[in-house]
Amino acid sequence: MAAEPDGEYTIRIQAFMAALGVVPFSGSLLAGTLGPATTVVVGDETGTVVATAHGYLAHNSHSAYHRYAWGGLVAVAQSQRGRGLGNYINARMIVSVVRDLHATHIYELVSASNLPSRRMVESCGLRRDPAVVCGVATLGDGARFTR
């Protein structure tokens, strides 16, 4: 896990995410210094990061959703894809937010057109809730946040 916001390991995690098209959060958020959070990482035998996922309690204590965790930032190295590592790292993140952060619920936001991510999330037991709607506003000519 990322432990220090500006530490070398956190910087490696951020670089890994960015290289795979996942816009990383700040080191402070990844390390959990701004609030309850977990960043899970799988490395290969040389210590190279090959998969990541992150979860945190996104809502403050005054919200009815304060025990709901947001999960995402799942990234898997190209060389490791097709082996179930995305499912594994996502499941580890879910376990961590429930066990370590005491979340009662978790949600992940996945584009309707992103079928691999939808399958990954569903394989971890999460289901689409048609009653919940989410949107993000960006500049029309701006780059996307994720693939």
CB 94 within 8 A of CB 124: yes
Domains by residue range for the chain, with CATH: 8-123 (3.40.630.30)
Give the percent of the chain with pLDDT over 70: 91
Nearest to 74 by CA among 30, 10, 29, 17: 17
Note the pLDDT tens digit of each residue in 97-141. 999 999 999 999 888 888 999 999 999 999 988 887 777 666 766
pLDDT class for 1, splitting at 50, 70, 90? low
Beta pairing class for 105-108 and 68-76: parallel
Alpha-carbon gap, residue 109 to 70, rounded angstroms: 8
Query: In b/e form, how buried is each residue of 87-103, taking b as 16+ CB within 10 angstroms?
Result: bbbbbbbbebbeeebeb
Which DSSP symbol is given to 116? Answer: H
Amino acid occupying residue 25: F
- pLDDT(35) > 80: yes
Task: State the pLDDT at residue 131.
Answer: 82
